[in-house]
Amino acid sequence: MRAGPSQDEIRRQNLGALLRYVHVHGATTRAELTTVLGLNRSTIGALTADLAGAGLVSEGTPRETGRAGRPSLVVRPEAERVYAYAYSVEVDRLRAARVGLGGAVLDRRELDRPRNLLAEEAAPLLAGALKEMHPAVPAGAVCVGVGVAVCGMVRRDDGLVRLSPPTGWVDEPIGAALAAELGIDVPITVGNVADAAAFAEHARGVAAGCENIIYLYGDVGVGAGIIAGGRRLTGHGGYGGEVGHMVVVRDGTRCECGSRGCWETEIGEHALLRAAGRHDARGRDALLAVFDAAGRGDARAQTAVRQAGDWLGFGVANLVNIFNPEMVIFGGTMRDLYLASAAQVRSRLNSIGLSACLEHVRLRTPKLGADAALVGAAELAFERLLADPLDAG
């Protein structure tokens, strides 16, 4: 039961809408902004002046238009001067990047992550990557935040990593550890990697313009970033989207989460490698080798892929029936699995899915590729700026 916005909230929202537009769509003429945002020329002028004054955008000379009339000024995000640090904590990899307003990756570092590395041990490594990148930051540039994407369940309120079977983390305060290590005074936002990737694909990837999407992200486990009605589905505690632990086989194979027959146990890394007869292998490279082998005609690999693809379609169909999404995106290892078994996926989907839900659903692979998680993490950090550009800038 909340009242409507006050007038300065209007201003904030309009500033945010403008900044978000140039952040997502890149340099934009003022004329275009007036039509897109539905605001008056004079208002757009005032807003850009405010944002330029805060150093968030710059106005440049117009592009050659070819048409008659005074050319419109171009509003550009300050892609170099305003940036966020983004981290992605994956099973066997730590990624760090400096991402400019506008979404460009300005700098990056990657390092292998020893399995069973705890948050307190990871934080110095992550901070080190940041310090390595720091000298390249131009003078006067300002960091608006740090975003961290972790493959695990993250408590919304404080960013505590509750449970991340693939990394072995339980109640790891990665945000606090990182804050202590960095010693810089910027807000740190921690989120789930699938959520972050979904967010990025929703903002500037294949799902641009879609309001209802499911981004399925496979690593060792499987999670989903879900956007419903244009907003992230977080759930009450922030643990929404744990579709990998939807049980698809009652009393099935034991899962790391303690339950049995989770979807993950049928389509996760372990399941596929085991089915392909590679019990000792792990990691993404091993997985790709299976897909390769299947592509080259290896019968056992083909069976494994087909079987996993069948289960992939099974679970996706269930999710489609529940959410009625506009698009399902297959990211991480799910991308490879989907591409290798699209026939099985579609077949299952068509047999299980309700026809009304199948009508408009599109199956896609990510547009942002491996960077989706990083860009999404940055997007999490930028979100604060976009909600209130002048205060957070």
Report the site for DNA in 52-91 (rule: CB under 7 A): 61-62, 64-73
Residue 178 CA, distance from chain mean position: 20
Structure tokens at 262: 């989770």
Interacting span for its own copies (CB under 8 A) from 92-100, 321-329, 370-378, 381-389: 321-329
Between 53 and 235, CB nearer to its own copies = 235
Q: Which does 72 bind (CB under 5 to 8 A by kind): DNA, its own copies, none?
A: DNA
Query: CB-based contacts of 260: which residues, under 8 Å, 6+ apart?
Result: 247, 249, 250, 251, 252, 253, 254
Interacting span for its own copies (CB under 8 A) from 96-104, 138-146, 174-182, 228-236: 228-236
Least distance from its own copies to the Cβ atom of residue 9, Å: 7
CA distance 118 to 26: 38
Sign, CA dihedral 236-237-241-246, equals negative
Burial (CB < 10 A; 0-12, 13-18, 19+), residue 330, is: buried
Task: Provide the angle, in degrees to the nearest 10, between the axes of the packed helices 119-133 and 174-182.
Answer: 40
Between 72 and 212, CB nearer to DNA = 72
39 binds its own copies (CB under 8 A): yes
Least distance from DNA to the Cβ atom of residue 4, Å: 6
Least distance from DNA to the Cβ atom of residue 21, Å: 14
Between 67 and 236, CB nearer to DNA = 67
- Pairing assessment for the beta strands 82-89 and 142-150 based on DSSP bridges: parallel
CA distance 379 to 86: 9
Q: Which of 100, 205, 221, 238 binds its own copies (CB under 8 A)?
A: 238
Between 46 and 281, CB nearer to DNA = 46
Q: Which does 345 bind (CB under 5 to 8 A by kind): DNA, its own copies, none?
A: none
Q: Which does 323 bind (CB under 5 to 8 A by kind): its own copies, DNA, none?
A: its own copies
Q: Which of 235, 254, 292, 369 binds its own copies (CB under 8 A)?
A: 235
CA distance 362 to 42: 41
57 binds its own copies (CB under 8 A): no
Structure tokens at 222: 């499987």
CA distance 200 to 370: 11
Least distance from DNA to the Cβ atom of residue 5, Å: 9
For residue 117, the 8-state DSSP code is: -
What's the 3-state SS for 215-240? EEEECCCEEEEEEECCEECCCCCCCC
Least distance from its own copies to the Cβ atom of residue 298, Å: 26
* 3-state DSSP percent of the chain in helix, strand and coil, to 5: 45, 20, 35
Q: Which does 66 bind (CB under 5 to 8 A by kind): DNA, its own copies, none?
A: DNA
Q: Which does 247 bind (CB under 5 to 8 A by kind): DNA, its own copies, none?
A: its own copies
CA distances from 349 to 88, 114, 206, 281, 327 (A): 31, 38, 21, 30, 13
Least distance from its own copies to the Cβ atom of residue 198, Å: 14
Binding mask 339-368 for its own copies (x = CB under 8 A): ------------xxxxxxx-xxx-------
CB distance 151 to 219 below 8 Å:
yes
Tell me the site size for DNA, rule CB under 7 A.
Answer: 34
Q: Which does 235 bind (CB under 5 to 8 A by kind): its own copies, DNA, none?
A: its own copies
- Pairing assessment for the beta strands 93-100 and 82-89 based on DSSP bridges: antiparallel
Binding mask 27-46 for DNA (x = CB under 7 A): --xxx--x---xxxxxxxxx
Q: Which does 20 bind (CB under 5 to 8 A by kind): its own copies, DNA, none?
A: its own copies
Least distance from its own copies to the Cβ atom of residue 22, Å: 10
Least distance from its own copies to the Cβ atom of residue 58, Å: 20
Which residues sit at the interface with DNA, rule CB under 7 A?
Answer: 4, 6-8, 10-11, 14, 29-31, 34, 38-47, 49, 61-62, 64-73
